[in-house]
Amino acid sequence: MRGLRSRRGFLEQCGLGGLTLTAGAWGGPALGAIAGQDPDLIVINGVVGTMDPAKPTAQAFAVKGDRFLAVGTTEEMKSIAGPRTRIVDAGGGMVVPGFNDTHNHGRGEALLYGVNAGNPYVVEYVTIQSIIDKLKARAAETRPGEWIVANFYDDTKIKDKRPLTIQDIDKASTEHPIEVRLRGGHASVFNSKAFAQAGVTKNTPDILGGTYEKNEKGELSGRVTDNAIRKMNSFGVRTVYSPAEAADRALKGFEFISGKFAEFGLTSVSYDAGDDLIPTIQGARDRKNLKTWISYDASPAVVDGMIQAGVGSGFGDDWFRFGGTREHSLDGGLSSRTMSMTRPYIGVTPAYKGNLVELQKDTNEWAERVHRAGIRMNMHANGEPSIQQALDAYDYAQSRFPRPNTRPKLTHCSLPSAEQMKRIKAADAQPSMFSTYMYYNADKFRYYGADMAEHMMPYRDMINAGINASTGSDFYPGPFDPLMAIQGMVTRKGFNGETWGASQKVTVEEAIRCSTIAGAYSTFEENTKGSITPGKLADYVILSDDLYKVNPEKIIDVKIVETVVGGESRYHA
């Protein structure tokens, strides 16, 4: 990304030479209804939850091109139909704006080609032996000495009722370094070969923001957290693919995951990924296999290129737009139990308060640099100590270079204090909070305790405070099913029947708003998407049932009938 002299040069080096140049497009006005033109499509007989306060409910709407044309009753919409207008009968099902995932890492290659230690999409318990067997199978087709990596390991969804250990993974291979990644990130389990090549022993001290965990005998357990994982991964040999092979795997993986997003009702996704994925996204778009709008949270290398080329957040078009920075990590993860805390985790010996992975001065310097360049800050901050560090860094940058309407992104923002929520509101910061965790990870809350759970992922408190909280699955860590998210937000009950943080329950309508228009506001696109409003992009999902009427504990069972993005069907059951 060095030596870039123009925006066009920057785009060409990113692999986006054909991108429409629409700098400063964020926050533009929505178009009005297109008068005097027959609609291409009319949807009738639906329960339309528009998420538009000017017209909250309707029965039908019309679409022209990629925009909503009009909203009203079935009879009103039929009256404007032309001879070529296609009529779709929703059959009494609910229709909502397309769902928006404001934080997602899903690339797709791991799903197609990787070793998956658990189920990426739903709750499923597996055995340790099943993981060993998958690793053995991969070892048999991998050259000795090369890394083997498995994803989607969930240490609380093991039938053996104990976590994976270094000894377990050694049964798969001692000739290959092996990493089994917790699906929540921030922790992995390694085998003996991986520790040996990194020179890590039971006597190796922990490092800033990372640990080499020990078992009750003082031996390495295999579990490594946060910054220490990076050290482990800096050694050894990886499987190398030719440029053509790598590009093909990336493209096929991305097209697969893009189709999956549409299958689950997502129409907009904020992607947090490396710069190598940008040409892959463009390739899928060229092949007409891009199923959702993309807001790209830029990797450090791309941020450097943006600064050199004078490209700020919001640059791009509806299909691909530069969002903020890639999440700048300040602490560990919630589900992996490494997030920063003000008190020790329950049941962990010795006493442990999680990981802060960066010093305040370094966060301040980073924040000022990207803020001055007109690039939106995006900081990964789960626990109260890291949220404090993020807010202080934002204030530091603003004090040196004041800019209006910056909407800094707080990825996760899982456990803010009441005072911090006041600061979040004042800064119009945008929490992208875990969406499916209330349902999928209910078995993790016992490590935090009932009192903390009452304030964790506090959608109710955020809404009451007037904060625009949106839903981010963080996939791979969390499943990206919006209906799983809505059920968890409404009931606060997990797959296992446990209820945590009942005071944070929201209504169905509020959960849908967090999953649609709140996401659009978070990415400065509230005037072009997020609600079924004339002039906005025609993104919507037809559901098999009315979410307002079904048993809240059965929302996850409602089917996606059709997903439409910009007036075009991207998935149909």
Rg of the chain in Å (alpha carbons): 24
Phi, psi of 36 (to 5 degrees): 75, 15
Mean of all residue pLDDT scores within the chain: 94
Tokens in use for 450? 């009932």
* CA atoms of 298 and 311, how far apart (whole Å): 11
pLDDT of amino acid 32: 43
* CA atoms of 522 and 268, how far apart (whole Å): 12
> Which residue type is seen at 365?
E
Query: Helix, strand or coil for residue 379?
Result: strand
CA angle 400, 401, 402 (to 5 degrees): 115
DSSP per-residue codes, 467-498: ---EEE--SSSS---HHHHHHHHHH-B-TTS-
Phi, psi of 29 (to 5 degrees): -75, 150
Closest CA to 67 of 515, 560, 528, 563: 528
Per-residue pLDDT band for 30 (boundaries 50, 70, 90) equals: very low
Query: What letter would DSSP give residue 93?
Result: -
* CA atoms of 200 and 483, how far apart (whole Å): 43
- Per-residue pLDDT, averaged over 73-85, amounts to 96
Q: Sign of torsion, CA 293 295 301 303?
A: positive
* CA atoms of 536 and 529, how far apart (whole Å): 5
- Exposed/middle/buried for 456, CB within 10 Å: 0-12, 13-18, 19+? buried
pLDDT of amino acid 279: 93
Summarised one tens digit per residue, pLDDT across range 528-561 is 999 999 999 999 999 999 999 999 999 999 999 9
pLDDT of amino acid 190: 98
Summarised one tens digit per residue, pLDDT across range 343-354 is 999 998 889 999
Summarised one tens digit per residue, pLDDT across range 277-290 is 999 999 999 999 99
- Per-residue pLDDT, averaged over 84-96, amounts to 97
pLDDT of amino acid 22: 47
* CA atoms of 315 and 20, how far apart (whole Å): 9
Residue length of the chain: 573
Per-residue pLDDT band for 276 (boundaries 50, 70, 90) equals: confident
Closest CA to 315 of 121, 571, 26: 26
Over 90: is that where the pLDDT of 338 sits?
Answer: yes
